[in-house]
Amino acid sequence: MTLPLRARHPIPTTEPGQLRRAVRRTAIVRVALALVLCGVLTLAFLEARSTDPRRAPLVPSGTTGMLVLDLSASVYEDAFGQTIRKLARAGERTGVVAFSDAGYELLPPGTPARELLPLLRFFNPEAASSTGALPVDPWQDFRAGTQISQGLIVAHEALIRERAESGSIVLVSDLEILPDEVIRLSEVVADLRRDGVRLRIVPLFPTPEKYARIRQIVGESSFLRESEAASPVAAPEARSLAHAVPWTFVLLGGLLVLLLALNEGLLSRLELRR
pLDDT digits (tens, 9 = 90+) for 205-227: 888 888 899 999 998 888 876 65
Number of neighbours of residue 163 by Cβ within 10 angstroms: 8
When pLDDT is cut at 50, 70 and 90, the band that residue 168 belongs to is: very high
When pLDDT is cut at 50, 70 and 90, the band that residue 156 belongs to is: very high
Q: Does the pLDDT of residue 104 top 50, yes or no?
A: yes
Q: What is the pLDDT of residues 232-259, one digit of tens each?
A: 555 555 445 455 556 676 787 788 788 7
When pLDDT is cut at 50, 70 and 90, the band that residue 188 belongs to is: very high
Strands 94-99, 103-107: parallel, antiparallel or unpaired by DSSP?
A: antiparallel
Question: What is the edge-to-edge ordering of all strands in the sheet holding 103-107?
Answer: 103-107, 94-99, 64-70, 167-173, 198-203
**pLDDT given for residue 47 in this prediction:** 66
Average pLDDT of the chain?
Answer: 75
DSSP symbol at 121:
G
Q: What is the pLDDT of residues 21-52, one digit of tens each?
A: 777 777 787 788 788 878 877 877 776 665 55
> Which conformational region is residue 98 in: left (phi greater than 0), alpha (psi within -120 to 50 degrees), or beta?
beta
**Whether the Cβ atoms of residue 116 and residue 59 lie closer than 8 Å to each other:** no
**pLDDT given for residue 122 in this prediction:** 66
Report how far residue 135's alpha carbon sits from residue 106's, in angstroms, rounded to the nearest whole number. Answer: 19
Report how far residue 23's alpha carbon sits from residue 9's, in angstroms, rounded to the nearest whole number. Answer: 16
**pLDDT given for residue 1 in this prediction:** 45
Q: Mean pLDDT lowest for which of 11-15, 91-95, 198-202?
A: 11-15
**pLDDT given for residue 38 in this prediction:** 85
Number of neighbours of residue 203 by Cβ within 10 angstroms: 24
Q: Which domains does the chain have, with CATH numbers?
A: 5-51+246-267 (no CATH), 64-244 (3.40.50.410)
